[in-house]
Amino acid sequence: MKKKTLYLLVSILAIFSLLISACGADEGYEDEFYEEEVYTEEAVETEEEEPSAPQDSDAPAIESAPGEVIFDFGFTPEQNGFSFENYGDDIPATNLTADELRRMFGDEVCADINGDQCILTPPAEQWMDQINESMGGGHCEGMAVLSLMMYTGQVSPADFGGSVASDLDVNDEALQKEIAYWWATQATDPTASSVVRGTPMEILETVRQMDVNGETYTIGIYNDRGDGHAITPFGVQDKGDGLYAILVYDNNYPGETRELFIDSRDGSWTYETSINPQVETDVWSGNADTQTLDLTPTSARVEIQVCPFCEGGFTSTNKLAAADQLMNQFFLDGDGHILITDENGNRLGYVNGEIVNEISGASYTRYRMLASGETPEPIYAVPAGLDVTITIDGSDLSEETLTDLVMIGAGYTIGVEGIYLTPGQIDTAYFYPMDQMIAYETESDESPSIIFGVENPDADYYFEVYGADMLGGGVITAWLDSSAGDLLINTEKLNGEGSFNFYLTRITDEAEEEFYAEDIVLNEGALIYVNYAEWTDANPEGIYFGVDLDGDGEVDEEYVIDDAQ
């Protein structure tokens, strides 16, 4: 009896083994059988003979067949994308105006409101100018967002003369301002702080859930040169062998379906793009480590945005910063790079072609635009209480570029504009925000403009000290003494005498007044006092200027300059 039972068991096991060999075990049987030593060895030998590609640990469990579209949002580039290409400053477009800023941030951007007309505060005007200047590189962010919102019904194409986005005309000024509005949200909170980052497969899975979670997204892609581009996802397709394509509308290619490839085997992504279809394409790529793919949720854009230049300012979203830490933003217009250094030697900006951030609480925002291929410097944000030194570096330039460097904080702006930066030229600017002071140092012949804008309870002011001759270089320093109502200009370290022009705008609830004076003597080693607070249009005596010629604190010369307008 025992022998028959043993024989029967052996026979059953043999038959079962043959069935597994012939038909293949499923995963559950593999796990059970490979616990035995003999199967573990065989599995190791098989792995050595046929190595498999590494798998992305974040890869979703997608059950699909090659060629199958596993997600389709219903958006089509032919109908729901714009029929015109992404544009920069190659067409005479209208971008942000006071109306868009008021819509974005609220009435606090206005120094005065007359009926429906908003007169912007000086910091608001400066911020708008900086953002509009940056759009010269392209409007892809605004086009990617607006086309998606028109498809979902959050914005009506009928407001701009069509039933779908593809009906609309790029020359429509109202449409241009709408595109600019949504473009600008990438530089504001809560939009900028709501950006979703992750591995390529995590990005793919989030896109695949768009019709489930009720949120929509635009995709940001970045190359190793710091260029950024925004595209609109609307589908996912299985390409076979662990390769997937996120189907996108790329506003550089009107009417075309483009593919952002995600490889689940090594967690990488690739995308072939160009600034327009007539220009040779470039392949961008990255992986889980590069963090060069991100998603911006549409829901964050439709909220009232936090005003970075209003008196309340905006606070850092960096987890290393204090929760209520006010920030100053720095903008560079023109080519070249900047490097911001705090008093302890910590840096923010470009070092050997890469962006570093060593300043606690600081951050930066890269633009997504890609129409001209000339992406501007990121917006840098630094805790408002820090004094910083900024190197303006033209080492990588091939030709001269006109450069502006501007700081915008809560209720004020300070900057130096009109620097003719030449290849190899390196200048330095020193910002002392709490003292409302700036110093600009150069070894080149320059005639820069020093600018200030400030909100005050009684009146808002904007100043320009421009055309200041700096023959042979030197240092020029300027600051506001708001308590005394003086603008001070220190030429102690100027290398030669020259002259400058002076412009003032004064904004109150009753009026917007302007003052202009030219060819004011700029003495080497002098300290000039401009007593702006006493002036109004009704004052026939002009503005008082005092000059301390030797830096002893005593005014050696004084005179009144009339308005030259």
Q: Residue 3: its pLDDT value, please?
A: 38
Asked if pLDDT for residue 323 goes beyond 60, the answer is no
Query: Is residue 24's pLDDT more than 70?
Result: no
Range with lowest mean pLDDT among 32-36, 252-256, 420-424, 541-545: 32-36
Beta bridge partners of 515: 504
Distance CA 553, CA 547 (A): 10
**Residue 556, number of CB atoms within 10 A of its CB:** 13
Q: Which helix (H) or strand (E) holds 147?
A: helix 140-152
pLDDT of residue 329: 96
Cα(476)–Cα(525) distance, rounded to whole angstroms?
10
Mean pLDDT for 454-475 is 89
List, in order, residues 6 or more apart from 350 with CB less than 8 Å away. Answer: 337, 338, 339, 356, 393
- Torsion sign, CA atoms 301, 306, 309, 314: negative
Q: What's the pLDDT score for residue 381? A: 95
Gap between the Cα atoms of 210 and 217, Å rounded: 8
Burial label for 190, CB within 10 Å (0-12, 13-18, 19+), is: middle
Residues of the chain above pLDDT 90, percent: 66
8: CB partners within 8 A, 6+ apart: none
The residue count of the chain comes to: 565
Q: What is the pLDDT of residue 227?
A: 86
CB 20 within 8 A of CB 13: no
Residue 30 backbone dihedrals phi, psi, to 5 degrees: -60, -45
Mean pLDDT of all residues belonging to the chain: 85
pLDDT value of position 142: 98
List, for residues 336-387, the tens digit of each pLDDT value. Answer: 899 999 999 999 999 988 899 999 999 999 888 775 556 679 999 999 999 9
* Averaged pLDDT, 129-155: 96
Q: Mean pLDDT, to the nearest integer, of 214-225?
A: 92
Mean pLDDT in residue range 55-75: 78
Q: What are phi and psi of 49, to 5 degrees?
A: -80, -40
Q: Reduced to 3 states, what is the DSSP secondary structure of residue 494?
A: strand
- 551 vs 34 pLDDT, higher one: 551
Please report the pLDDT score of residue 280 as a whole number.
67
Q: Quick one: pLDDT at residue 444?
A: 92
Centre a 10 Å sphere on the Cβ of residue 323 and count the other Cβ atoms it contains. Answer: 8
Report domain extents, the chain: 2-49, 79-187, 197-300, 436-565
- pLDDT at residue 41, rounded to an integer: 30
Q: What pTM does this model have?
A: 0.83
Cβ pair 520, 499 in contact under 8 A: yes
Place of tokens 């302890």: 344
Q: Is the dihedral of CA 171, 185, 377, 286 positive or negative?
A: negative
pLDDT at 55 over 90: no
Q: Per mean pLDDT, which of 28-37, 215-224, 470-479, 497-506 is the most reliable? A: 215-224
> What one-character-per-residue DSSP string does 421-452 give?
EPTT-EEEEEEEGGGTEEEEEESS-B--EEEE
CB contact at 8 A, 231 and 144: yes
Tokens of 226: 């710091």
- What is the pLDDT, as a whole number, of residue 543? 92
Q: pLDDT tens, 248-257?
A: 999 999 999 9
Q: Which pLDDT does position 373 carry in this prediction?
A: 56
Using CB atoms within 10 Å of the CB of residue 457, give its burial: 0 to 12 exposed, 13 to 18 middle, 19+ buried: exposed
Q: What is the pLDDT of residue 276?
A: 54
What DSSP letter does each residue of 204-230 carry, written as one string?
A: HHHHHTHHHHS--EEEEEE-TTS-EEE
Indicate whether 64 pLDDT > 90: no
Q: Per-residue pLDDT averaged across 118-136, rounded?
A: 95
Checking if the pLDDT of 19 tops 60, the result is no
Question: What local confidence, expressed as pLDDT, does residue 174 receive?
Answer: 98
Q: For position 284, what pLDDT does the model report? A: 94
Residue 38 has pLDDT above 80, yes or no: no
Q: What region, left, alpha or beta, does residue 288 occupy, with left being phi > 0 and alpha being psi -120 to 50 degrees?
A: alpha
pLDDT higher than 90, residue 481: yes
Per-position DSSP letters for 368-407, written without gaps between them: ---SSS-PPPPEEEEETT--EEEEEE-TT-SS-EEEEEEE
Buried b (16+ CB within 10 A) or exposed e, 352-374: eeebebebbbbbbbbbbbbbbbe
Within a 10 A sphere around the Cβ of 422, how many other Cβ atoms? 13
pLDDT of residue 324: 55
**CB atoms inside a 10 Å sphere around CB 383:** 21
Token pair 């616990």: residue: 35
% of the chain at pLDDT higher than 70: 84
Sign of CA dihedral 543, 549, 554, 557: negative
| Model confidence at 37: pLDDT above 70 | no
Structure tokens at 155: 């914005």
- Who wins on pLDDT, 508 or 324? 508
Nearest to 496 by CA among 546, 446, 450: 446
CB contact at 8 A, 380 and 350: no
